[in-house]
Amino acid sequence: MVIVYHQNNKVVQVQYDGKHIDFEELNIIQALFKIADSYSDQLIIWCHIDLKANLNLSKLQEIFHHNKIMASYNVSESSFLSEAIGYVDGAPFVKINKEVCYPAWQMSNSVGGIHASVLLSFKNKIKESDDFDYFLNSLAKLAMPAGLLCYSESAFLNDFSDKKENNKQSLFVLFRFVKQHYKVSWIFLLLLNLFLYQKKIAFLPFITSLFYRRRAINIDFLNNIEVQSSKKVLEKGTVDVIIPTIGRKKYLYDVLKDLAKQTHLPKKVIVVEQNPNHESTSELDYISDETWPFTIKHIFTHQAGACNARNLALAEVDSEWVFLNDDDNRFGIDLIEKTLENCVKYGSAVSSNFYPRIDEKRKVDHVNQVDFFGSGNSFITSNLLDKVSFRMGFEFGYGEDSDFGMQIRNSGVDVLYFPSPEITHLSAPTGGFRTKPVLAWQNDVVQPKPSPTIMLFNLLHKTPEQINGYKTTLFFKFYKVQTIKNPIRYYSNFQKQWVQSLYWANELKNKK
């Protein structure tokens, strides 16, 4: 391990395995690449000299448990890029929970690290910046989609408090970053949003950004770096499977048969059957009529709703892992075995597998951090279940799985996407006795826009800038498909719908 201490973008001290080594007085970025050339099999840590006494050396191997990890921790209350980046980027990686290990591409020069092999793979891919923070943010933003796992990691520092510096936040830097890392249309939206919500006229930063070219790298540039995590995520290897179902007897039978053929059999399958008809009884006769190579826990309820059904099932889990399945999935015989192997390889406690519909082609072929979570195609360790649940405010709406994923991330656990093995989602027709729920707002004179559950997700998990950025894009997208074409009338109506959505989202917050 090589530790580089720096100040004012210059190297002031270098240690290798605890011993001081000679170095040239170089710019910190040049020094990192030179050190990576000389120590190509080593982890490279950077640390501001003022934080040297606080560096938690005992945690570094735990943080970097395999070679495709980049992590840092920002001691400042403000990020290098201003909060206005939320007008452009709506992903969950922007609102960082600094109390835990949290997936984030926004890196800091305060303290952090990366393996030399990753740095060398990045060498000469883009023009180096003189600003260390800009370089780190650019590297992470470009490399995260390519499979570099990037984190804000609070464990870097020991006994740290009050040493917070305020970074200078420049709109010139922000516009440049957006122009170099996003589609060009986003600089126009950034300009508009800054004016709408902050009354800032940023023409000069906007114009200046036009002289920068977009940065791009080959999505496969990290493929030669081997991954084998030292983090232990599997001991017993026991798996429970949960399946909520309603009116899909035949499809559920196929799912159970796929589970019965697994090379790594589940210990228990928990089926929650729903039928809102209070005169009804279970139609799943094959659960008791056939012999299965696992225990089936069958719960029958007249209360419809996926959130309630999944929570009932999760309460019955007692294995080390749980597979969140659906009643219209199909998968190969090695799904559980291969997924657990992937989790061990990456030290991942949560995975969401590729989940195509029939004939859907896979677009991403490598493991990476994702902004979604699938409630029908995911594996999680059961020790997370005392921290997360399906929030009932999302019942019969959209976003319950995304909210569940955000609860996981905010508990300090990342969600990784595995391109294989895949789980095919048949998107089967709904059962004949499903009833359309009566939503509290469906008879309102002014219908909420967006859906209150979408607004609820935004309120719970996004920054004010992200919410306002979403509002602007929704305004333009919705204009194309609604009937009011008079711009003034449309704007007035949209504002009323937005307020109505906010009202109902706040009502849903407290729903049990």
Q: Tell me the whole-structure pTM to 2 decimals.
A: 0.94
Q: Do the bridges between strand 43-48 and strand 111-115 make them parallel or antiparallel, or are there none, so unpaired?
A: antiparallel
Is residue 343 within 8 A of residue 285, CB to CB? The reply is no
The residues pairing with 2 across neighbouring beta strands, listed in sequence order, are 16, 44
pLDDT digits (tens, 9 = 90+) for 144-190: 999 999 999 999 999 876 556 556 679 999 999 999 999 999 999 99
User: Each residue of 65-90: pLDDT tens digit?
Assistant: 999 999 999 999 889 999 999 999 99
Mean pLDDT of 429-451: 82
pLDDT in tens, 264-312: 999 999 999 999 999 999 999 999 999 999 999 999 999 999 999 999 9
Residue percentage of the chain with pLDDT more than 90: 90
Identify the pLDDT of residue 323.
98
What pLDDT does residue 160 have?
72
Confidence of residue 431 (pLDDT cuts 50, 70, 90): low
The per-residue DSSP string of 462-484 comes to: S-HHHHHHHHHHHHHHHHTTSS-
pLDDT of residue 432: 47
In the chain, what are the domain boundaries? 1-159+167-231, 239-425, 452-509
Q: Is the pLDDT of residue 502 over 90?
A: yes
**What is the identity of the amino acid at 369?**
Q
Question: How far apart are alpha carbons 132 and 172 in whole angstroms?
Answer: 16
Confidence of residue 442 (pLDDT cuts 50, 70, 90): very high
Q: What is the pLDDT of residues 388-426, one digit of tens each?
A: 999 999 999 999 999 999 999 999 999 999 999 999 999
Where residue 437 falls among pLDDT bands split at 50, 70, 90? confident
At residue 457 the predicted structure's pLDDT band, cuts being 50, 70 and 90, is very high
* pLDDT reading at 361 higher than 70: yes
Amino acid found at 27:
N
The domain covering 239-425 belongs, at the CATH homologous superfamily level, to Spore Coat Polysaccharide Biosynthesis Protein SpsA; Chain A (3.90.550.10)
